[in-house]
Amino acid sequence: MGYAALTMATYRIAVIPGDGIGKEVVPEGQRVLEAAGRKHGVEFDWDEYPWSCEYFSRNGRMMPDDGLARIRDHHAIFLGAVGFPGVPDHVSLWGLLIPIRRGFQQYVNLRPVRLFEGLKSPLADRKPGLVHVIDIRRGRLRHGHSQGFREAAESTEATRNGVTAGKRLERSRFGTNIARRWTTMARAGREGRPQPASGKLDNCR
């Protein structure tokens, strides 16, 4: 065996192209990874799974009951996009995405954006090195468990209590450590949470 063979790292990747554009972009992403691997001494062992909304339409579920067990020992999951006419969004969310995030404790959704040499930016006169954005979203955990709203009678004040686990705070340090070194914009979404009946508490502090 040659030196290259002895030092070559191999990563086993679970590939889930999903639906629609996922089937188009995932193969191209694999080509990019293969090219980068040849340059940096990395090989990939791809295991592809057909789990998708189209799969759901034929089988009545987004993935088999032992789906997570099948991909548990992989180094990473390469997931494309899910969505198919006639299949509600919550089906793919709770049938595939949430089980993967919760099952493997994927608590950070990291989306780096950089402008590389040879690419033209839609932003006028921006050159490589001037565009570097890191988008951090939660993968599976909100700040904690809401205990509901409490609005004082005949008052414009309202309070909302929540219980936050120590592990959640520890994990939030990933984002705060990056934020300390960057110009930062923070936004907290409220997807899936009960909203106050008045609907007028957005600006409360």
Residue 98 has pLDDT above 80, yes or no: yes
CA distance 35 to 14: 18
Convert the pLDDT of each residue in 59-94 to its tens digit: 999 999 999 999 999 999 999 999 988 999 999 999
20-23: long-range contacts, CB 8 A cutoff, minimum separation 24 = 20/81, 20/83, 20/84, 21/80, 21/81, 22/52, 22/79, 22/80, 22/81, 22/82, 23/80
For residue 20, give both structure tokens.
């629609």
Per-residue pLDDT, 147: 44
Convert the pLDDT of each residue in 28-51 to its tens digit: 999 999 999 999 999 999 999 999
CATH number listed for the domain at residues 1-106: 3.40.50
Convert the pLDDT of each residue in 168-199 to its tens digit: 666 667 777 777 776 656 555 544 443 333 33
Q: What is the mean pLDDT of the chain?
A: 76
Average pLDDT over residues 139-164: 52
Residue 200 has pLDDT above 70, yes or no: no
